[in-house]
Structure 1
Amino acid sequence: MPLKRIIAGLNDFHDNYFITHREMFEHLSHGQSPEVLFITCSDSRIDPCLITQSQPGELFVIRNIGNIIPAYGISNSAEAAGIEYAVQTLNIKDIVICGHSHCGAMKGLLQIGNLAQQMPLVYDWLKHHGEATRRLVLDNYQHCSGDKLLKVTIEQNVLTQIENLETYPVIRSRLHGGKLTLHAWIYEIETGEVFAYDANTGKFKIIENRPFPVPNPLIGVHLE
């Protein structure tokens, strides 16, 4: 999209959408109170507000290459700061990690050796924070190849990030208190459908009328 078209879009937004929703934006100017933290990929084909039909102020969004969340303590990343702020200050009730079909980051992860010279920064990001997913897939899905292998990698990556989220003290505390729920989603670009991980079946199933929250690993653990 040429910059000229983007500027035209800005003008159209102000002259049409903003004018007809002025009261909403006036309300938003006094603060935000989203209840969902939506973590997804930087891929230009993914628009969290579009696919969820959410209004401004309803989603707190974190995006990066591969919708990756470094485990707590590995680095003082922007992702970690965003998570802490969303949960501690905004009192987020639900966290969604949403991967997507045809993910370039996951394609790169499966062929990571080819990235070292061409894109060293991307290589470092995936090598440091994607190795758990890569090793799991290579060791356990040797029978898969091509599109099937990529699909498995995308799914396992989302589940890995759920596990990484659970290493954050503020998240473990909220999970333990039943004040927070985690969700693992996959958005399929070519169909517009969203699939959620169902722990009862161990598979991603299409979301229709109800979500599939990831079970709290602390539920049922009673400490004296």
Structure 2
Amino acid sequence: MQDLVDGVKKFQRDAFPERSALFRRLAAGQNPQALFIACSDSRVVPELITQCEPGELFVIRNAGNIVPPYGPEPGGVSATIEYAVVALGVSDVVICGHSDCGAMTAIATDADLSAMPAVRRWLGYADAAKAINRAHGHTCVHNGVNAMVHDNVIAQLVNIRTHPCVALALSQGRLSLHGWVYDIGSGKVGAYDGDARRFVSLADHPHACASGSADARDGSP
């Protein structure tokens, strides 16, 4: 805990003064350009990966970068998505998975989660990805987990479309969806191309978009 306290002191002493003008602006409100949905994994830091300053990203982090489908009793993820799209008017939503994800490893390997019932229920929102992953018939655990990470990003992109605010914004052409997978060891990011239906290098294809060209026309998946 002392490390955290020392970090606060260092922030107040060094980092805050260097960005004092930025923080004065942020004290009056926020105008983030994107909603970034990432895993809670301590190795995944959205602002570091994207090199964004405070105020540029509206962030949701949870186990497995999961987006539950919209339902009659929306939870915190649903409420945050709605606020980002309706109140803040973000133009982009990024759902970002990552390598060596513990949540996806648990699903791909049928880990015993009986001691963590809440985790087990939460990961049920990745059942569609699990079914697709199983159908691939992977020959090794590593390939199965890696594919599960990618399949889950695609599944969550499907789930987020069930949210009325997202569906409306997509149909009106004022929102784009992005599916990324961050590789911790190399720093590389793969992006899902909705038209090609495959992941490509974000560095080589910076305009890759998961929502695809059809969404701007008619809101179709």
- TM-score, reference length from structure 2: 0.93
Residue 126 of structure 1 pairs with residue 123 of structure 2: yes
- Corresponding residue number in structure 2 for 1:37: 35
- Corresponding residue number in structure 1 for 2:25: 27
Q: Is the 8 A contact 2:193 2:200 kept in 1?
A: yes
Aligned 1:181-192 pairs, distance under 5 A = 181-192=176-187
Q: Deviations over 1:140-184 (max 9, x none)?
A: 211443111111100010000001111111111111111000000
Structure 1 unmatched runs, 5+: none
Say which of 97, 100, 105 aligns to 1:99.
97
The 1-side partners of 2:36 and 2:139 are apart by 30
1:219 deviates by 4.3
Q: Is the 8 A contact 2:104 2:149 kept in 1?
A: yes
Residue 147 of structure 1 pairs with residue 142 of structure 2: yes
The 2-side partners of 1:58 and 1:83 are apart by 16
Question: Aligned pair in 2 of structure 1 residues 143, 6: CA closer, same or farther (>3 Å)?
Answer: closer
Q: Is the 8 A contact 2:172 2:216 kept in 1?
A: no
Say which of 154, 167, 181 aligns to 2:162.
167
The 1-side partners of 2:7 and 2:138 are apart by 47
Structure 2 unmatched runs, 5+: none
The 2-side partners of 1:217 and 1:169 are apart by 18
Supply the RMSD in Å over aligned alpha carbons.
1.6
Report how many residues are paired.
217
SS in 2 for 1:130: helix
Q: Deviations over 1:85-126 (max 9, x none)?
A: 00000001000000000000001112345112x212111111
Identical aligned pairs, as a percentage? 38
1:76 deviates by 1.7
Q: Is the 8 A contact 2:173 2:217 kept in 1?
A: no
1:220 deviates by 4.2
Q: Is the 8 A contact 2:34 2:58 kept in 1?
A: yes
